[in-house]
C-alpha cells in the first residue's frame, strides 16, 4: 500500500471533513478514498476516522496522526524542492493564482511564451480576485495587483511590476461633457470607479508641480475593470484604468487619454509565494520570466502616447 498517498488523502479528508469532497479535490474516486483510509487504518492499527454515511469525526489518534502526517508531507515536499533546487532544472507542476482581468489580458499572453521556453514545467492557472489562502489551496505562486495583506508570515510578497493607470473616456462622452483641463474638473464628471483596494473614490494625479487628490463620484463602481471598461466604452463617463486594459481601445481611437501631463497612480503587481527553505526553481524562474516579459510588454505604447 502506498502509505504516503494514503496520508495525503487522510489529511485532505480530515481538513474537508468529507470523503467525497476530498475525492473530487484530489481528482480520485470516492471508493479509492474509502479504501485508502481503510488501508491506512489497518496499517497503523487504529481507527482514525469515526464515520457513518452521514457524519464524519476524527478520533483522538486520528487527530494526532493527522498532525504528524501534515509534517511528514511537508517534509517530503521539502525534500523534493531540495532536489529541484540542487538539480537546478525547473520542472514539475507550477500552480499559479492570478487576478481575473490581469490574468485574462496579460498573463494569458505571457503563458504561451513561457510554455514554449520551458517545456518541462506544467502550468495550472486559476484566475480569482478573492484573497484565497494561497498556501492552503496549494498554489506555488500568486500574482496580485495592489498591496496584498499577508496574514501568513510564511509568504513572501515581491513587487515585480508597476502598472500605470490612465484617465480615459470616449471622444463621444468628451464631446458632450467637455475635456477636463485640471484634476479638479474631474469632480464635474461621471467617474467610473474600479474598486480594487480601499479608498477607490480618491484619484491622485501627479505632475511636475506636485500631486493632488480628487474625490470623484459617479454612477458605477465595480470590482472588475472590464466592467468599468465597458461602461467607459459605452460613453458613460471617465475611467481610471490600467494601461493594459485600455491600450487597444486608445490605439483604435475609441478611448481618449485625459490630462496627459499628469501621471495617475500606479498599481503594483506582487508575486506572492511561500517562504520555503528550498523553493523549487520553477517558481523563481516564472517570476523572473514574467517580470522580464512585463518590462517588454506592459508600459510601452501608452506612455509615449500620453506623454507626447
Partner DNA sequence: CAATATTAATTCCATAAAGATAATAATCAT
Partner DNA sequence: ATGATTATTATCTTTATGGAATTAATATTG
Answer yes or no: are the C-beta atoms of 155 and 272 closer than 8 Å: yes
x/- contact string, 218-257, with DNA (CB under 7 A)?
A: ----------------------------------------
Closest to DNA by CB, 20 vs 297, is 20
x/- contact string, 8-47, with a second copy (CB under 8 A)?
A: -----------------------------------xxxx-
Closest to DNA by CB, 124 vs 288, is 124
Candidate ranges 47-55, 73-81, 147-155, 222-230; the one touching DNA (CB under 7 A): 47-55
Q: How many whole angstroms separate alpha carbon 220 and alpha carbon 236? A: 9
x/- contact string, 98-117, with DNA (CB under 7 A)?
A: --------------------
Q: Tell me: does residue 29 bind DNA (CB under 7 A).
A: yes
Q: Tell me: does residue 30 bind DNA (CB under 7 A).
A: yes
Which one of a second copy, DNA, none is in contact with 87 (Cβ closer than 5 to 8 A by kind)? a second copy
Closest to a second copy by CB, 46 vs 222, is 46
Q: Tell me: does residue 36 bind DNA (CB under 7 A).
A: yes
Q: Tell me: does residue 84 bind a second copy (CB under 8 A).
A: yes
The secondary structure of the chain as a DSSP string is --HHHHHHHHHHHHHHT-HHHHHHHHTS-HHHHHHHHHHHHHHHTS--EEE-SS-EEE-HHHHHHHHHHHHHHHHHHHHHHHHHHHH----EEEEEEE-HHHIIIIIHHHHHHHHHH-TTEEEEEEE--S---TTTTT-SEEEEESPPP---TTEEEEEEEEEEEEEEE-HHHHHHH----SGGGGGGS-EEEE-SSS-TTEEEEEETTEEEEEE---SEEESSHHHHHHHHHTT--EEEEEHHHHHHHHHHTSSEE--TTSEE-EEEEEEEEE--SS--HHHHHHHHHHHHHHHHHSSSHHHHHHH-
Under DSSP, the state recorded for 103 is I
Closest to a second copy by CB, 180 vs 280, is 280
Closest to a second copy by CB, 5 vs 207, is 5
x/- contact string, 136-175, with DNA (CB under 7 A)?
A: ----------------------------------------
Site residues for DNA per CB under 7 A: 1-2, 5, 18-20, 28-39, 51-56
Contacts with a second copy, residue ranges (CB under 8 A) = 1-5, 43-46, 60-61, 64-65, 68-69, 71-72, 75-76, 78-80, 82-84, 86-87, 89, 91-92
Amino acid at each position: 500500500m502506498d502509505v504516503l498517498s494514503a496520508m495525503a488523502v487522510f489529511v485532505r479528508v480530515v481538513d474537508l471533513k468529507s470523503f467525497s469532497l476530498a475525492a473530487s479535490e484530489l481528482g480520485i474516486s470516492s471508493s479509492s478514498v474509502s479504501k485508502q483510509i481503510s488501508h491506512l487504518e489497518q496499517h497503523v492499527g487504529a481507527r482514525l476516522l469515526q464515520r457513518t454515511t452521514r457524519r464524519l469525526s476524527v478520533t483522538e489518534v486520528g487527530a494526532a496522526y493527522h498532525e504528524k502526517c501534515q509534517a511528514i508531507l511537508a517534509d517530503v515536499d521539502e525534500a523534493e524542492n531540495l532536489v529541484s533546487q540542487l538539480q537546478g532544472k525547473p520542472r514539475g507542476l507550477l500552480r499559479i493564482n492570478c487576478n481575473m482581468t490581469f490574468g485574462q489580458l496579460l498573463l494569458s499572453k505571457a503563458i504561451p511564451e513561457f510554455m514554449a521556453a520551458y517545456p518541462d514545467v506544467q502550468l495550472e492557472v486559476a484566475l480569482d480576485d478573492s484573497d484565497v489562502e494561497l498556501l492552503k489551496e496549494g498554489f506555488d505562486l500568486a500574482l496580485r495587483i495592489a498591496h496584498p495583506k499577508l496574514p501568513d508570515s510564511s509568504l513572501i510578497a515581491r513587487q515585480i511590476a508597476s502598472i500605470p493607470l490612465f484617465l480615459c473616456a470616449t471622444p463621444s462622452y468628451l464631446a458632450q461633457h467637455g475635456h477636463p483641463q485640471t484634476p479638479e474638473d474631474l469632480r464635474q464628471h461621471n467617474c467610473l470607479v474600479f474598486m480594487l483596494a480601499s479608498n477607490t473614490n480618491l484619484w491622485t494625479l501627479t505632475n511636475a508641480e506636485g500631486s493632488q487628490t480628487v474625490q470623484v463620484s459617479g454612477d458605477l463602481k465595480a470590482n472588475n475593470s472590464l466592467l468599468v471598461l465597458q461602461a467607459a466604452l459605452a460613453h458613460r463617463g471617465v475611467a481610471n484604468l490600467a494601461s493594459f486594459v485600455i491600450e487597444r481601445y486608445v490605439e483604435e481611437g475609441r478611448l481618449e487619454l485625459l490630462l496627459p501631463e499628469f501621471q495617475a497612480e500606479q498599481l503594483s503587481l506582487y508575486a506572492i509565494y511561500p517562504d520555503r527553505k528550498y523553493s523549487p526553481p520553477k517558481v523563481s524562474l516564472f517570476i523572473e520570466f514574467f517580470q522580464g516579459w512585463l518590462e517588454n510588454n506592459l508600459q510601452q505604447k501608452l506612455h509615449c502616447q500620453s506623454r507626447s
